[in-house]
Amino acid sequence: MKPIYPLPIQNEFVFNSSARDFIVEEIPLYPFAGEGEHLVLKVRKKELTTWEMLDILSQYAGIKRKDIGYAGLKDKHAMTIQYISLPIKFKEKLASFSHEKIKILEIMRHNNKIRVGHLKGNRFNIRLKKVLGVQKDKLDSVLKWIKANGVPNYFGNQRFGTDGTNWMDGKKLLSGELKIRDPKTREFLMGSYQSYLFNLWLAKRMELNLLLEKFSETEVEQLLKLSSGALKGVKTQPNFFKLVEGDLMMHYPYGRLFEAEEPNKEAERFKDKDIAPTGLLPGIKTKRASGVAQIFEEQFDEEIKIFGARRYAWIQVTEIEKNYVEEKAHYELSFVLPKGSYATNVLDVLRGTNQI
Domains of the chain, by residue range, sit at: 30-117, 153-315
Question: Average pLDDT of each block of 10 consecutive residues along the chain (356 residues)?
Answer: 52 87 94 89 95 94 91 91 94 90 94 90 96 91 94 90 87 91 88 96 96 96 96 96 97 92 94 97 96 97 93 97 96 96 94 58
The per-residue pLDDT for 355 is 37
Task: Give pLDDT, residue 2.
Answer: 45
Q: Which residues are catalytic?
A: 75
Q: Look at residue 254 in the predicted model and tell me its pLDDT.
A: 86
Distance CA 262, CA 246 (A): 8
Contact in structure between 27 and 121 (CB atoms under 8 Å): yes
Q: Strands, E, within the chain: which ranges?
A: 22-28, 38-46, 69-70, 79-87, 102-110, 119-128, 151-152, 248-251, 257-259, 275-281, 309-312, 314-315, 318-325, 330-338
Q: Supply the pLDDT for residue 162.
A: 73
The residue type at 215: F
Domain 30-117 grouped into CATH 3.30.2350.20? yes
* H or E element that contains 159: none
What is the pLDDT at residue 356?
A: 29
DSSP sequence for 101-154:
TEEEEEEEEESS---TT-EEEEEEEEEEBS--HHHHHHHHHHHHHHHHH-EE-P
pLDDT of residue 6: 55
Tell me what pLDDT residue 348 has.
92
Contact 91, 40 (CB under 8 A): no
Cα angle value 274/276/277 (rounded, 5°): 155
Do residues 312 and 250 make contact, with C-beta atoms less than 8 angstroms apart? yes
Please tell me the pTM assigned to this model.
0.89
Facing residues of 258 across strands?
Answer: 249
In sign, the C-alpha dihedral spanning 187, 193, 198, 201 is negative
Return the CATH number of the domain spanning residue range 153-315.
3.30.2340.10
H/E stretch holding 183? helix 183-214
